[in-house]
């Protein structure tokens, strides 16, 4: 586990990471659910190493958008490219999902598998890693998220914060290039939010490219390179955290901030 001292670096620490070439490119992305137009021409480029926080009112399309990025929800217009792989033909789905890890609000661990088995499942099945190698790496990842001693327990024996840290370790076990988080702390009791955010901050500092839907404003200000504000199926602000908090341009963003701050 990263020492508390490392975790308490000043706000600027998160923004000194090297930002590389574009790794996600979304152009005019559209998504319909029946007659409902959920994504209305989303354009976005994310560079390697960037941490992008997505905020916006409930129902504005945040989850739908990040789910299109690993094709959990297929988009139905425009184009998405992830690490030079176009996300259009069905044949690319496996390749994309290997590059993109996802963490959900509700953890989604397999209840009948131990913590370590949850983590080794995909590497052994999908990547054909040997059981011994997958377990060694799994234990390293559990150490990284601070719960190595829980390896042989079942999810139900863990707190919510611990379960979410297992979910993060499980996603990292596939060595993704990008991590997507959809409100990862929204289902947690307040005292467990920090332990999950600390793991995410460490991940950000390690250079991981991250898209994070969250309303945790402290996290966003400390770690995000950019804030995207979604409203009615589109990005209506794409700016730095400081600019967003001090000078929101869009009326909906102003209203939203006045409610949550
Ligand atoms: P957010 O994550 O910003 O709260 P979502 O992306 O979950 O919003 O949803 C955007 C809109 O799309 C909402 O109005 C929601 O009701 C609708 N929607 C999302 N998923 C589905 C679905 N599977 N079927 C029908 N409508 C959906
Ligand atoms: Mg959502």
Global ipTM: 0.98
The CA distance from 248 to 237, in Å, is 8
Q: What is the mean pLDDT of residues 54-83?
A: 94
pLDDT in tens, 92-148: 788 888 899 999 999 999 999 999 999 999 999 988 999 999 999 999 999 999 999
135 alpha carbon – ligand 2 mean position (Å): 33
Say what angle helices 160-172 and 131-144 make with each other, to 10 degrees. Answer: 130
Return the percent helix, strand and coil in the chain, to nearest 5. 40, 25, 35
How many angstroms does the Cα of residue 24 sit away from the middle of ligand 2?
20
Query: Which SS3 state, helix, strand or coil, does residue 258 take?
Result: helix
When pLDDT is cut at 50, 70 and 90, the band that residue 88 belongs to is confident
Instruction: Give pLDDT, residue 186.
Output: 96
- CA 38 remoteness from chain centre: 20
d(CA 228, CA 59): 15
- Give dist(CA 26, CA 105) in Å, integer: 24
5: pLDDT strictly greater than 50: no
59 lines ligand 1 (CB under 6 A): yes
33 lines ligand 1 (CB under 6 A): yes
Identify the H or E element spanning 206. none
Q: Which of 59, 75, 186 to mutate to test the pocket of ligand 1 (most atoms within 8 A of CB)?
A: 59
Distance CA 19, CA 157 (A): 39
d(CA 101, CA 70): 8
User: Comparing C-alpha atoms, which of 198, 141, 101, 179 is closest to residue 151?
Assistant: 141
* Pair of tokens at residue 136: 């060694």
Q: State the chain's mean pLDDT as an integer.
A: 91
Give the pLDDT of residue 8: 36
pLDDT tens-digit map of 218-249: 999 999 999 999 999 999 999 999 999 999 88
Positive or negative: CA dihedral 138, 139, 140, 143: positive
Q: Is residue 261's pLDDT more than 80?
A: no
pLDDT average, residue stretch 65-92: 88
Average pLDDT over residues 248-255: 89
Closest CA relative to residue 181, chosen from 141, 155, 209, 143: 209
Q: Which of 55-59, 91-95, 160-164, 222-226 is predicted least confidently?
A: 91-95
**Taking the complete model, does pTM exceed 0.90, yes or no?**
yes
Q: Of all protein residues, whose CA lies closest to atom 8 belonging to ligand 1?
A: 59
């Amino acid at each position: 586990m990263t020492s508390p001292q490392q975790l308490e670096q000043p706000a600027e620490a998160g923004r000194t990471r090297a930002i590389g070439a574009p790794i996600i490119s979304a152009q005019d992305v559209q998504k319909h659910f029946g007659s409902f137009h959920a994504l209305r021409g989303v354009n976005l480029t994310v560079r390697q190493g960037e941490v992008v926080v997505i905020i916006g009112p409930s129902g504005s399309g945040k989850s739908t958008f990040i789910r299109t990025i690993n094709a959990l929800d297929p988009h139905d217009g425009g184009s998405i490219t992830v690490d030079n792989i176009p996300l259009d033909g069905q044949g690319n789905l496996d390749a994309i999902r290997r590059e993109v890890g996802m963490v959900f609000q509700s953890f989604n661990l397999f209840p009948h598998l131990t913590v370590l088995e949850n983590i080794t499942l995909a590497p052994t099945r999908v990547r054909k890693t040997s059981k011994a190698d997958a377990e060694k790496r799994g234990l390293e990842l559990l150490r990284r998220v601070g719960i190595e001693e829980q390896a042989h327990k079942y999810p139900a024996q863990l707190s919510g914060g611990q379960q979410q840290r297992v979910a993060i370790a499980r996603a990292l076990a596939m060595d993704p290039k990008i991590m997507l988080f959809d409100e990862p702390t929204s289902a947690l009791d307040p005292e467990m939010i920090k332990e999950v955010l600390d793991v995410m901050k460490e991940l950000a500092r390690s250079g991981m490219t991250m898209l994070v839907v969250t309303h945790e404003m402290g996290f966003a200000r400390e770690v995000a390179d950019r804030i995207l504000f979604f409203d009615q199926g589109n990005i209506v602000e794409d700016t730095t955290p400081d600019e967003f908090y001090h000078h929101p341009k869009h009326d909906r963003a102003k209203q939203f901030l006045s409610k949550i701050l």
